[in-house]
Structure formats: C-alpha cells, structure tokens
Amino acid sequence: MNGSSFIALLTALASLFEAQRSGAIGVITSVAGMRGRPSNYLYGSAKAAVSAFCEGLRARLHRAA
C-alpha cells in the first residue's frame, strides 16, 4: 500500500471518529522513513509521508477531543 492510499484511509477514519467523538487509530510504520537510502528511497519516502501525516493528524484529533 503506498502512502497516498494509506493517508486517504486514515483521513476517512479520522473524520468518522471525530464525528463519533470516539475511536482509536494505531499506526506502525518503518524505520525506512527516517532517512533516504539509495536502495529503497521510494519506499522510504512513502513511509516518511505517512509518519509526517500521522503527526499532523494526531494534533488535529487532540484539539477535537
């Protein structure tokens, strides 16, 4: 699953949970997103995008709580 489809799924779930005022999201990503490497930079960039998105989503949902 690439980063954009994962982000789309989390966005939909977050909106549902926000409307319900309840729910939990757990995300496990990869250390490959911590630093770009020549052998897997596409994979790593998708993981970095998911990690950055989740940081912002956590802040958004925290404000809504």
Q: Would you name the residues annotated as active-site residues?
A: 43
Is residue 52 within 8 A of residue 7, CB to CB? The reply is: no
- Show the tokens assigned to 45: 């960039």
